Amino acid sequence: MKTFFSEDHRLHFPQAELSGGQFVTPYERPSRVEYVLARLKERQVGEIVAPGVVDLEPARKLLDPGFLAFLETAYDDWKAAGQGGEVIAAGMPTRRQRHDRIPRNIDGKVEYYCHASETAITGGTWRAAQASLACAQAAQAEVAAGARAAFALCRPPGHHATSDQYGGYCFLNNAAIVAQMMRDGGAGRVAVLDVDFHHGNGTQDIFYHRGDVLFASIHGDPLDSYPYFAGYADETGEGEGEGANINVPFGPGTPYGPWAEALDGVIGRIKDWGAEALVVSLGVDAYKDDPISFFKLDSPDFLDMGRRIGRMGLPTVFCMEGGYAIEQVGVNTVNVLEGFEDA
């Protein structure tokens, strides 16, 4: 399996995030990728290739143009306004406030376009986000050309980014854009399977009213875990999208047994739905020692996860999402890929 990776991910490295009432080194940091790369090379999973130039046209089909323009200029606008540090939202619109007008002031724009203030924008964020998307697009092109699967080692991740908001360490929703590219390439129905511990609220948001892309997620119960306000089992889609949104939340301490049963159930529904191509939002933060998660999957479980996904027999693009137990993120990620290839 070919991996697509860009060194430009290093351009995005916020110096702090607010966690537990104090500023800490962000859990989503460049060293995550280094562990994945090292494991890919150690296991000789396949060629590691730099992507080509990003194509923003597919993103423009899905995302709000004002949001894209904001991401491109936010840091420069922030600095031009005399702000000293990185771009961090001080708040967000709340209930019964106006949501129909975008402030002129950069502080207000940041609050309008952000849904989680742990996510900072730096001088290199926009370039890194574009490079992350370029990796996903290159993986999609590889599969479109006939490969069974490809791995986009995306950083920053994408599945929490909605059509018009960033947050949860995410800026451009790589998995959603790849799904749209698969549709544009001729796939009648595309499924996005999100195995990250945290619900892919951004992907759900983008496809919630569509019946041609099925979104399925197994994740921590939003009563107990970020993103808190999406990911409930009764969110099944609306309009043409009714029935094309599947959420399976689990509570603290969930081991692999029930998680795997849920995966089999989701896979069955994807097959019955008639998916012709698959995007996997590959987060490995369901691992038992992840610092910001509460499932109890162990490293061998990720091998089995990959096998179950591989047995679906669909053209598959893997897009890297979360996983913050830094020293194990490489082992767990590569285990999924090797399990898939063994299926």
Return the SS3 of 277: strand
* Six token digits for residue 93: 């619109």
* Six token digits for residue 227: 């993103």
Active site residue 160: yes
What is the distance of C-alpha 97 from the center of its chain?
29
Q: Which residue among the candidates 159, 160, 199, 219 is catalytic per the annotation?
A: 160
What is the distance of C-alpha 151 from the center of its chain?
13
Q: How many CA atoms lie within 13 A of 76 on its CB side?
A: 7
Distance CA 96, CA 98 (A): 7
- With beta carbons less than 8 A apart as the criterion, state whether 9 and 31 touch: no
Residue 59 one-letter amino acid:
A
Angle at 55 between CA 183 and CA 86, to 5 degrees: 115
210: closest CA among 181, 180, 187? Answer: 180
Angle at 322 between CA 154 and CA 33, to 5 degrees: 50
- With beta carbons less than 8 A apart as the criterion, state whether 56 and 172 touch: no
Distance CA 61, CA 31 (A): 32
Cα-flanking dihedrals φ and ψ of residue 238, to 5°? -135, 155
Residue 38 CB neighbours (<10 A)? 13
Residues 6+ apart with CB under 8 A from 99: 93
Which residues lie across from 109 on neighbouring strands?
Answer: none
Residue 74 CB neighbours (<10 A)? 21
Q: How many CA atoms lie within 13 A of 196 on its CB side?
A: 32
Catalytic amino acids? 160
